[in-house]
Amino acid sequence: MKPRRSNLSVPGHMKKMHGKASDSPADVIMLDLEDSVPVEEKANARAQVIESLLNLDWSRKTVTVRINALDTPFAYRDLLEVAEQAGHIIDAIVIPKVNHPSDIYFADRLLDGIELNRKTAAAPIGIEASIETAEGLLRATEIVTASSRVKTLVFGIADYSASIGARLVSISGHGEKEEELYPGHRWHFAISNMVMHAKAHGLMAIDAPYGNFKDPEGLRRSAVMACALGCDGKWAIHPSQIDVINDVFTPSAEEIALAAKVIEANAQAKSEGKGAIAVEGRMVDQATVRLATKLWEQAKYLRLV
């Protein structure tokens, strides 16, 4: 699967932003029909997203579309029209506020019918499920196993905070100023839990955005923590955040060099019929070999080796 280090959210009704997004260094462009679009602009945003998908060059990007929540009057039209008209362009549909596997069943079946009718060789459209409530996190296992289309779990920090009645400590509700309220990482359990469910089924896990786009150091701290917990990337709400996020989630030269040593030592041990592997005077197990291999593959994709 392609790296999804930076996931840039772009308002669906803002045409001028779409071309800039397609030329940005973000790994993923998410054209948004949900939170960033006013109610009176929902239909216009849907039409604009379809037009942009069909007329701009997205060949260098992973492209997703976030539809409205399934408990709104907009979601079914979002899913139907985007998938019918531009399904061959997008990699995945992002479903917000997934609380139950039935949300995935619904989208999966509808996409089945659309793809059968389309009769093209395009790859099946994936699903990214946003975990934004306590109920969604509780049912994460059922959600990730509801369809083979599910490729990614995404943490929605603001709505999750509201669902559990957590204190509001910032204007955006998206991660900043947390250290003033809680002596540690307030969302450690929730994110780690989501990551566990994703990785247990071979999926990616993406962290929520950092709300203050004028605070690059705060963004870096948030991204480093998410990376340490096993997230594969992080949402960005402003183009200025992309470079910081990409930097944090890109393997460093030191990490790549260490991975190469581990892989080489493992290959040598196998050729000599040895079970134990030693690197720089320390024993290395197969879990470390898998981590090194994954990092090496990402580095190769990013043309760092």
pLDDT tens-digit map of 28-38: 999 999 999 99
- What percent of the chain is modeled with pLDDT above 70? 94
CATH (residue range 6-249)? 3.20.20.60
Beta bridge partners of 9: 30
Split at pLDDT 50, 70, 90, the class of 121 is: confident
Query: Does the pLDDT of residue 147 top 70, yes or no?
Result: yes
Where does CATH 3.20.20.60 sit in the chain?
6-249
pLDDT band, residue 3 (cuts 50/70/90): confident
Task: Give 233-289 pLDDT, tens digit per residue.
Answer: 999 999 999 999 999 999 999 999 999 998 988 888 888 777 678 788 777 778 888
For 82-104, how does the pLDDT look when each residue is reduced to its tens digit (9 = 90+)? 999 999 999 999 999 999 999 99
